[in-house]
Amino acid sequence: MSVLAIIGGSGFAALPGLEVEESRPVETRYGATSASLIRGLLNGQPLCFLARHGAEHRLAPHRINYRANIQALVDAGCSSVVALGAVGGIHPSCPPGTLCVPDQLIDYTYGRVQSFYNDEADGVCHVDFSEPYSPVLRQQLIAAAAVAETPLYEGGTYGVSQGPRLETAAEIRRMARDGCDLVGMTAMPEAALARERDLDYATLAFVVNWGAGLSDEAITMDAINEQIGCCADAIGRLLAVFAEQRAALSG
């Protein structure tokens, strides 16, 4: 049976409903993972869970050891990854509280280690990244959302900013002109590294604020955290159905 991995983003240092069987720190050839790797069951589906920002949300997006996190999931036997991520909304159809399964991304980050093939000794590998997200995994998430009666924005482009600061209004206007529907800070290089390791990868994003300049209200961490809490139940229901459906397919 293939092992599912869920990477928890902001507000998800743990996974509701997960029956924990093992939790242990992991050291890879690329260094330590953000947090302990947790193995368990969610609705009968074996999975691994990893908190991207650490157990206490101590790692800013640009400081995450993405290579160690992805390599640890590969070493644990994972074949599919659902990455949770708090994002800002740019498209009018993506207000705060919206769950999204994007199908494209634009990378605006810099200074991050973008590849496992980073040193001369690693050689060179050019992966096809035309479709950064797994179509099969995306459709499974969309189907689970329908069963869970959870509204979902299907598709869209995720613009990946450097962080940790939020964007300027001018940057959001540029992203909108570029075709971005969402803005977040963690999809890259995570998605590309997953592709280099032949992992099916999809993002389940949840909108926690409007992008800068798109609302009269100031963007505050209190408001963002409140919105994360509002999204948590819907995400939990969707993932529970998703895991159940995958278990049925595997059985």
Angle (CA) 9 14 16, round 5°:
110
Other CB atoms within 10 A of residue 57 CB: 17
Domains and CATH numbers, the chain: 3-250 (3.40.50.1580)
**Of 175, 192, 176, nearest in space to 83 by CA:** 192
10-residue block means of pLDDT along the chain (251 residues)?
84 83 95 95 89 89 96 96 96 96 98 89 86 96 95 96 96 98 97 97 96 90 88 91 82 57
Provide the Cα torsion 41, 187, 143, 88; round to 10°: 110
138-155 pLDDT, tens digit per residue, is: 999 999 999 999 999 999
**For residues 249 and 243, what is the distance between their CA atoms, to the nearest angstrom?**
10
Going by C-alpha positions, the residue among 177, 181, 3 that lies closest to residue 87 is 181
Let me know: does 112 contact 191? Beta carbons within 8 Å: no
**Burial (0-12, 13-18, 19+ Cβ within 10 Å), 204:** buried
| 85 neighbors 113 (Cβ within 8 angstroms) | no
Of 9, 79, 84, which is closest to residue 46 (Cα–Cα)?
Answer: 79
- Residues 80 and 136: beta-carbon distance below 8 Å: no
pLDDT digits (tens, 9 = 90+) for 13-47: 778 888 899 999 999 999 999 999 999 998 878 89
The packing angle between helices 135-147 and 221-250, to 10°, is 100
What pLDDT does residue 137 have? 96
Cα–Cα separations (whole angstroms), residue 108 to 9, 174, 205, 209: 19, 11, 18, 19
Q: Which residues pair with 227 in a beta bridge?
A: none
Name the residue type at position 154.
E
pTM for the complete prediction?
0.93
